[in-house]
Amino acid sequence: MKIIINNWYRFGAVILIIMAALLAVMRPDLTQIQWLLIANFMALLAHQVEEYQFPGGAPMFINRVVYDERQLTDRYPGNTLSICLVNTSAWVIYVISIVLPHVYWLGLGVMLFSLFQILGHLVEMNIKLKIWYNPGLATTMVLFLPIGWRYIAVIVANDLLSGWGWLFGGLMLIICILVTIVMPVQVLKNKKTPYVISDWQIARFHQIVRFASLTRKGSSK
C-alpha cells in the first residue's frame, strides 16, 4: 500500500509512456472526440508528473495556498494518502469519459475540470505566493487549455449538446471537484496522520518559490 501511496504518479508516468507508444504503433481509427478525450487523460498524467516529480512540490503548494494552512503544511489538511486518492480517483473519471465518448456532457464535464486547473495554477497560487511559476502550470497552459478549448469547439460546431447537456456538463464539473478533490481531503484530514509529505517535496516547494519569486525575496513562510 505504501508503495502505491508514495509512487502513484510514477506509475502514472509509466502508463503515459505505454499509452503514447501504443497509439504511435497501432494508430487506431478514432473520432476527433475520442482523440481529444484520450489526449486529456494523457495530459492529466503529464500534469501529475509535473506536480509531483518534475519539478514536484505540489503537496505543499496545495496545503499552503489552497487551504491556507501555515503550521502543519507537511500533513494537513492534505496528506500523502488523500493526495493519492485525489489524483487516482481522477484517473477513473477520465477513463470513463474515454469509454463513453458519445456521452458528450460527461466529456464536457471532464474537460471543464481540466480547464478548472487554470484558476488554481495560473491565478490563485501565483497571486498568493507572488510567483510566476508553480508545479502544474506548464501542463495546464500547454495541454489542458488547448485540448479543452478544442473539445468545446467541436461540441459547439457539431451541435452535439442541448441546453440540458450543457447543464449536465456543468453539474459533472461540480461532481468531479467534490469527488476527486474535496471529499478525499476532508474525510482523511488528520493533524496526527502518519501519511506525512516527504522532505523531498517540502524542499522542492521552497526551491520553486525562491526560483519563481516575483519579489526576489523567495518568501515561503
Q: 218 falls in which pLDDT band (50, 70, 90)?
A: very low
- In which element (H, E) is residue 185 found? helix 183-188
| Burial category of 95 from C-beta neighbours within 10 Å (exposed 0-12, middle 13-18, buried 19 and up) | middle
Percent of the chain past pLDDT 70, that is, above it, reads 97
Where do we find the cell 471537484? 177
What is the C-alpha to C-alpha distance for residues 25 and 127, in angstroms, rounded to an integer? Answer: 43
Instruction: Report long-range pairs for 95-104 (Cβ below 8 Å, ≥24 apart).
Output: 95/41, 97/37, 97/40, 97/41, 98/34, 98/37, 98/38, 98/41, 101/31, 101/33, 101/34, 101/37, 102/33, 104/33, 104/155, 104/160, 104/161, 104/165, 104/169
**Is residue 215 very low, low, confident or very high in pLDDT (cuts 50, 70, 90)?**
confident
What would the grid cell of residue 106 be? 460527461
Q: What sign has the CA pseudo-torsion 61, 66, 72, 77?
A: negative
How remote is the C-alpha of 131 from its chain's centroid? 19
Q: Write the DSSP assignment of 22-39 as a string of letters.
A: HHHHH-----HHHHHHHH
49 contacts 127 by C-beta, under 8 angstroms: no
pLDDT range class, residue 1, cuts 50, 70, 90: confident
Which residues does 10 contact at the CB level (< 8 Å), separation at least 6?
53
Query: Any idea of the CA torsion for 59, 62, 65, 71, to the nearest 10 degrees?
Result: -60
Task: With a cut of 70, say whether residue 69 has pLDDT above it.
Answer: yes
- Residues 44-66: tens digit of each pLDDT: 999 999 999 999 999 999 999 99
**Amino acid residing at 22:** L
pTM, to two decimals = 0.95
Domain boundaries, the chain: 2-212
10 Å CB burial of residue 144 (0-12, 13-18, 19+) is buried
Task: State the residue for C-alpha cell 508514495.
Answer: 6
pLDDT at residue number 217? 56
**76-119 pLDDT, tens digit each:** 999 999 999 999 999 999 999 999 999 999 999 999 999 999 99
